[in-house]
Structure 1
Amino acid sequence: EGLDVAVAQGALSRDEAASIGSSSVNIREFLGSIGVALGSDVSPEVVAAAQLYRGFNATGSALMSWIVLAISVGGAAYAYRRSNADFRARNVVERGVLGLLIGAASIAILTTIGILFALLFNTIEFFKLYPATEFFFGTNWAPSFSGRGGLSDLGVLPLLWGTFYISFIAMLVAVPIGLFSAIYLSEYASPRLRGVAKPLIEILAGIPTIVYGLFALLTVGPLLVSLFGKDTLNWMQGGTAVMTAGLVMGIMLIPFVSSLSDDIINAVPQALRDGSYGLGATQSETIRLVILPAALPGIVGAILLAASRAIGETMIVVLGAGAAARLSMNPFDAMTTITAKIVSQLTGDADFSSPEALVAFALGMTLFVLTLGLNVFALFIVRKYREQYD
């Protein structure tokens, strides 16, 4: 009976109970050592249930074995029947691979749709509790977790301004450096130098963003304070500022612009270069008037990809730009972005049904729409100039 109880509680399997029951082991002591209580409180109903469980377990194991055997035999018979001179195995394999590829593509698409609906439904719940006009046109961001949103100002404009301001400074750093380095590596550098320099530039893309954030907090911020702080121009009050995050984010984005632009410039046909040289153009004139216009769609795509990456960055902003939501033109002021506030609003013990928690989904939906619009604009530019230069 004790072994039946142990099997019913899941402490022993049926085979283990059978082997123990046939041995000379003190069953009561053994069951006590594995945590199965056995005493006068074990009712006959429990013992009966344990015995019934053992019977069902044995029946299930036997049934599973017979099902596996039947499937194996059926599969072998089906394979033998299909194996004939008219069977085209290649077509079947191709259809199977096609189905696998369609499934993989469907997973990616369905995941995107699932993310979109998750954001959409929670955004609708947020706008049931907080006015949409105050969210989209409010100029103050001051969430208060007391009173379930009654004392909160959740205007998104300061966050949008900080997002675009930091991204703009980052692109001012990344685009010229990345594009000029791509032109040099593809048109001027020797193969040996290119083979060394390009991997070194691409290493920047593999550095974790938290490392960039620490670099901004511990190195770039104090450096900017020493140049523009109280002891010099008195423009900067602390190390966390838009300029700090923008400069470091621009360094992070250099390989996105450089590597993609380099590959695109190298894809320009050599016949265009030869024709330009044959007409008497110099190398710089060929690059400016022939190669760059031909590679412009791809370069614009690389720049907008880097811009999307900048808009979605979080750790560099948290550590380098601060957490202040404000509308200011001074690049040496501390500001924050949408992504940083999404993290802060979902961190802590806030009521998930409150506006202060649901606003994170509204911010995420806003960011999704902005990124989608940026991608649509990039596609428009690429198609427009591709028709011109193809």
Structure 2
Amino acid sequence: MSNLLIIAIILGLGVAGFVLGRQRALVSAGGDKRNLHSLPIYYGANVALSAILPATGLLAIWLIVQPMAINSAVSDLISDDSISETGTRDLVMADVRRVAEGLDRAVQTGAMGADTSFALDAGTDDVRDTLASLGVALGSDVTPETLAAGQRYRELLGTGNLLKTLAVIATGLLGLCVTYLRTHKDFRARNTVENGVLLLLIGAASIAVLTTVGIVLSLVFNTIEFFRLYQASDFFFGTNWSPSFSGRGQTSELGILPLLWGTLYISFVALVVAVPLGLFAAIYLSEYASKGVRSVAKPLLELLAGIPTIVYGLFALLTVGPLLVEAFGDGGLFGVSWMAGGTAVMTAGLVMGIMLIPFVSSLSDDIINAVPQAMRDGSYGLGATKSETVRQVILPAALPGIVGAVLLAASRAIGETMIVVLGAGAAARLSLNPFDAMTTVTAKIVSQLTGDSDFASPEALVAFALGITLFVITLGLNVFALYIVRKYREQYD
């Protein structure tokens, strides 16, 4: 039974529990809800929550534990010889899961009958051809050992899914029945429901914190594993980025400095474009524009933030890059030959700056509008013009918030990927020429984890070291922004 159908059954039990619990409470009160301790809706909600929450929690735990248990049981069937031939245990297990998926699909389509056990005696070439005809792509030859492990994986998965369905539905029914039998007119249903909702809210609030902790821990553990295989000094101070997957890391040079330089260089160009335009737009919208112009211009400006980054990347690749080549390439408008191709720091920086304009303008506009009108009136009363008021009163008062908006835009620029991949190129180099192709940390994280990577090699684990380095940089920017805001913040009544 699919997980979606199980969830539908749980919700059905909740609806039935709500109706039955409400009805039982009214019956125990003689049909007069004034004799109830709580409103009838609380009795129904109590039974519904007792049916839904335990069953949903069990389903979530089962979905996490079952794959790990099956992988642990099946991986014992894989010999060390198979692992040495294929590469790593993870790659072998990936083939095992694909074989299990193919066998299950073969049964559903009738390609192998109702029982796949005969496949263990069939030729592996025939089985591979059958699986390929069903759209199952395998990374290596189907050995008898892999086929046996795939069959075992499929059996365990089927048994686990059956037990999961029975256990989850039984838990929901048990919660419904127990709470239904406890329901009567004197039961404090409101207190129970409110405590349950409070626990739900606490759980929802904890998800974000636990997710952040999980992300950080996964980065830390994999980064530690990377530094066991690769020298930290070569990573942080190396000036050459040249990964090689052929020799399992012996010839790889994984210096981060060219990637950091490209990241900061492109982000700097983007901020040079976004900060003046965004700040001037915010000043105009908040201080000079009429209400009619503001009501139209502000939403249109904020639409830039809603455009997918892949669209910006295509715009950089197909429009901005060729225009820059025409202007600064061989035989260009300015008679210079600084730019050899359309992918360059300037291409990605200009387009990224356009994308960041609403981040700066919208936040700065809100911050400028938060400056009390009394400060403006006082400045006008002293004879200052509007421009002098903006320059000498409003901007100094709003400066901490504006700095925070700029640093937020910088964090967004550092973490951008698609614009860089399509607009800046893939060359990791240290260069001051803004018309050279460069790359960033985020682009290399994507490239290192693309395809069937061997996660035991430094070439794949380096992505986590890059990720935690980027995390530390953005965290430092956020802490610095918080420091600036708190140090120079103005308090208004």
TM-score scaled by length of structure 1? 0.80
AA aligned to 1:341 is: K
- Tell me if structure 2 keeps the 8 A contact 1:216–1:319: yes
Q: Which has the higher contact order (CA 8 A, sep 6+)?
A: 1
The yes-or-no answer on 1:160 pairing with 2:260 is yes
Cα distance between partner residues in 1 of 2:169 and 2:375: 74
Aligned to 1:81: 186
The yes-or-no answer on 1:214 pairing with 2:214 is no
AA aligned to 2:388 is: E
Aligned to 1:12: none
Summarize deviations over 1:235-277 as a string: whole Å, max 9, x none: 1011000000000000000000011111111111111111111
Summarize deviations over 1:75-132 as a string: whole Å, max 9, x none: 413xx2235xxx9x5x777655543332222110110000000000000000000000
| 1:238–1:65 distance in 2 versus 1, CA, 3 Å | closer
SS of residue paired to 1:82: coil
Cα distance between partner residues in 2 of 1:305 and 1:117: 24
- What is the deviation of 1:320? 0.3
- What is the deviation of 1:280? 1.1
- What is the deviation of 1:293? 1.3
The yes-or-no answer on 1:229 pairing with 2:329 is yes
SS of residue paired to 1:203: helix
- Tell me if structure 2 keeps the 8 A contact 1:145–1:350: no
Q: How does 1:81-160 map to 2 (within 5 A)?
A: 81-82=186-187, 89=190, 96-160=196-260
| 1:346–1:262 distance in 2 versus 1, CA, 3 Å | same
| 1:276–1:354 distance in 2 versus 1, CA, 3 Å | same
1:70 to 177, 193, 204: 177
Summarize deviations over 1:222-244 as a string: whole Å, max 9, x none: 00001000103101011000000
The yes-or-no answer on 1:344 pairing with 2:444 is no
- What is the deviation of 1:73? 2.9
Aligned to 1:332: 435
Aligned to 1:355: 458
- Tell me if structure 2 keeps the 8 A contact 1:216–1:320: yes
The yes-or-no answer on 1:259 pairing with 2:346 is no
| 1:366–1:235 distance in 2 versus 1, CA, 3 Å | same
| 1:280–1:330 distance in 2 versus 1, CA, 3 Å | same
Aligned to 2:43: none
The yes-or-no answer on 1:244 pairing with 2:344 is no
AA aligned to 2:328 is: F
Q: Which runs of 5+ in 1 are unaligned?
A: 1-31, 38-55
- What is the deviation of 1:146? 1.4
AA aligned to 2:382 is: L
- Tell me if structure 1 keeps the 8 A contact 2:397–2:490: no
The yes-or-no answer on 1:320 pairing with 2:420 is no
- What is the deviation of 1:295? 1.2
Summarize deviations over 1:283-329 as a string: whole Å, max 9, x none: 11111111111111211111111100000000000000000000000
AA aligned to 2:485 is: V
| 1:98–1:36 distance in 2 versus 1, CA, 3 Å | closer
Q: Which runs of 5+ in 2 are unaligned?
A: 1-109, 116-162
TM-score scaled by length of structure 2? 0.63
Aligned to 1:27: none
- What is the deviation of 1:171? 0.1
- What is the deviation of 1:67? 3.6
AA aligned to 2:338 is: W
Aligned to 1:372: 475
| 1:280–1:356 distance in 2 versus 1, CA, 3 Å | same
Return the index of the structure with the highest Cα Rg.
Answer: 1
Cα distance between partner residues in 2 of 1:318 and 1:93: 51
2:301 to 172, 176, 201: 201
| 1:278–1:94 distance in 2 versus 1, CA, 3 Å | farther
Percent identity (aligned): 77
| 1:135–1:74 distance in 2 versus 1, CA, 3 Å | same
For the aligned residues, what is the CA RMSD? 2.6
Summarize deviations over 1:9-67 as a string: whole Å, max 9, x none: xxxxxxxxxxxxxxxxxxxxxxx9xx668xxxxxxxxxxxxxxxxxx9xx999988984
Cα distance between partner residues in 2 of 1:138 and 1:104: 43
Cα distance between partner residues in 1 of 2:327 and 2:173: 80
| 1:205–1:81 distance in 2 versus 1, CA, 3 Å | same
| 1:81–1:256 distance in 2 versus 1, CA, 3 Å | same
- Tell me if structure 2 keeps the 8 A contact 1:350–1:357: yes
Cα distance between partner residues in 2 of 1:126 and 1:64: 43
AA aligned to 2:213 is: I
